[in-house]
Structure 1
């Protein structure tokens, strides 16, 4: 019996053909790859990662449009996953393509960043949330300009960060595989409003609220780096935090 792996969420299907639709994330058979007997995917010529939603496409060129978030090929980066011995030749060939593979080894957390605009709320997955200073207590987040949450943070000047526990991988799929422009990401999700008006997930590990410092907001091309003062926060549960590395390993 053949085994097929969904290239988006990691679901494994057994059968002579891939399924018509992935039961986990909903993509079609074109996003399944055939696994060999040792459960390692047959390698296509190249792998391309969407810098907005992390969808991975296999082929000689990036797709015309990301099937998850809709961005074009210019927002895909080439991944080089095969190990390369550290030799003088390898160093001389190092460039931006190989640097992207190296950056995949940086450790991140996974968070849900939320904000609002005109009585509408939205949230997205984010792995670039970090503390800058302790006195004053300041943090930073980095959001893609194409994302709806970016628009809401720019408009309201506030956001909240819900930190996820290691067992909340499904929450990543809820907030990371679709756009708030076409889906209600909070459908079926329990949340409470923060003091600053942003939604906080009720089952989060911890949360913080923050107010953007406009004069310290930095345009970095495809993304915006928001520097913000922390205004409130609290631990909710004493569990292990979900990391990006743990999430990636759970997909395959």
Structure 2
């Protein structure tokens, strides 16, 4: 399977959540549109990170696209753990639907209502019904992909 997986270069997303007075966000690679009618999207969150724990208490999460030029933003959300870093402290963001943090710098984002959760192993899938979105800025140069993150070490160890 490794030879197959090593050929993939999928987009990465920043997922944000807010619940019980806490904010969290992480860089995720496991995500995809999964329905046309109704439009639905699924993101999978690692069980070891703060975003997963925050999203467990949330009804909505945000999903953000980045560009390759936004490496430092991807590194903040992928290379640091929310357990000991407030990723939003020095970041421009706006509360969106249900208080979900929306990254002001993201060229495209949506907030989805969590319609279902699915335990798939070391990650939990969140089936999302989009309720708010913006694609105000057209991403120049494409989207941030797995190959763009090759130098980012995960904030939590990967087994």
TM-score by length of 1: 0.57
1:160–1:209 CA contact under 8 A, matched in 2: yes
Residue 125 of structure 2 corresponds to 225
The answer to whether the aligner puts 1:115 opposite 2:20 as a matched pair is no
Correspondence 1:133-148 to 2 at 5 A: 133-148=35-50
Conserved 8 A contact 2:47-2:122: yes
Shift of 1:101: 4.4
Structure 1 segments of 4+ aligned residues over 4 angstroms from their partners: none
* Distance of 1:227 and 1:184 partners within structure 2: 26
Report what 1:171 is aligned to. Answer: 73
Q: Which has the higher contact order (CA 8 A, sep 6+)?
A: 2
Matches within 5 A, 1:65-144: 99-144=1-46
Counterpart pick for 2:89 among 175, 187, 211: 187
Which 5+ residue runs of structure 2 have no aligned equivalent? 154-159
- 1:57-104: CA deviations, max 9, x gaps? xxxxxxxxxxxxxxxxxxxxxxxxxxxxxxxxxxxxxxxxxx234312
Paired positions, count: 151
Deviation at 1:249, TM superposition (A): 7.6
5+ residue gaps, structure 1: 1-98
Selected match of 2:54 from 142, 152, 156: 152
In the alignment, is the contact (CA less than 8 A) between 2:71 and 2:148 conserved in 1? Answer: no
Kept in 1, the 8 Å contact 2:75–2:152? The answer is no
Larger radius of gyration: 1
Hey, what's the Cα distance between the residues in 2 that align with 1:108 and 1:172? 14
- In the other structure, the counterpart of 1:213 is 115
How do residues 47-62 of structure 1 correspond to structure 2 at under 5 angstroms?
none
SS across alignment from 1:182: coil
**1:195-241 superposed Cα distances (whole Å, 9 cap, x missing partner):** 12111110111001101113xx2111211111111111110311221
Give the alignment partner of residue 63 of structure 2, picking from 142, 161, 165.
Answer: 161
8 Å contact from structure 1 (residues 204, 236) kept in 2: no
Structure in which a larger fraction of residues adopt strand: 2
Q: Name 1:248's counterpart in structure 2.
A: 150
**Contact 1:218–1:226 (CA under 8 A) maintained in structure 2:** yes
Aligned to 1:73: none
Q: Secondary structure at the match of 2:69?
A: coil
- The normalised TM-score by structure 2 is 0.88
